[in-house]
Amino acid sequence: MTILALVLLCNNDVKMKANLGLIALIVWALSVVLLGYFFVRGWTSAASDQRTAIHLAPAERDLVLGEMRQMLHSVHNLVTGLSAGDAKIMEQAARSSGMAMAADANPLLMAKLPLDFKRQGLSVHRDFDSLAEKIAGGADQATVLREFTGITARCVGCHTSYRLP
Ligand code: HEC
């Protein structure tokens, strides 16, 4: 009798462990799917003006908009350097919006931004660095302008698609 009870108990224990294992697996699979979903879609909704609204906490929004104003500053300095024919000013302007600017990105903010936004944002920083290299290598005015309009086209493209409500 005691042996039978013990066998039943053990059996139950094994079953419970199997169930727990299954639950853990389901929770794990759900979190992978959820994480993947947010990694691609970000924290977004449709906005009233056809754009995609990205929902950020106030401090995250301030950070992103601060980077934007820094990039506008780079645009202004670059054009200033270009009109003055001053390569040093141009190089510095481009460099200050390069990849170094994106290095301090926090993981939660990254999760909220859609994949396409992250891709466009990173490519703009990369293009600023590559422009700085070309200026340092002695690129002429026409080349700098051509590369530069490639960058401003990206500013326009992203602003057409996204907003921070
Ligand atoms: C990856 C997407 C993306 C790229 C690339 C991008 N921006 Fe933005 N920018 C945004 C979004 C989104 C906003 C918020 C717009 C809104 O809510 O209407 C914004 C806002 C701004 C603002 C307003 C800042 C403020 O304080 O309100 C400026 C200035 C700006 N961007 C400049 C630029 C410049 C210059 C470039 C290119 C060198 C650029 N942005 C490239 C997404 C982008």
Q: Answer whether 101 contacts ligand 1 (Cβ < 6 A).
A: no
Ligand 1: centre distance to CA 72 (Å): 8
What is the mean pLDDT of the segment spanning 37-63? 90
Does domain 52-163 bear CATH number 1.10.10?
no
89-104 pLDDT, tens digit per residue, is 999 999 999 999 887 7
Indicate if ligand 1 lies below 6 Å from the C-beta of 158.
yes
pTM, entire model: 0.84
- H/E element holding 138? none
Å from CA of 141 to ligand 1 middle: 26
d(CA 143, CA 134): 9
Domain positions in the chain? 2-41, 52-163
- Indicate if the alpha-carbon torsion angle 64, 66, 69, 73 is positive or negative: negative
Instruction: Please give the distance, rounded to the nearest whole angstrom, from the Cα atom of residue 123 to the centre of ligand 1.
Output: 14
List, for residues 70-90, the tens digit of each pLDDT value: 999 999 999 999 999 999 999
**Pairing state of beta strands 44-46 and 52-54?**
antiparallel
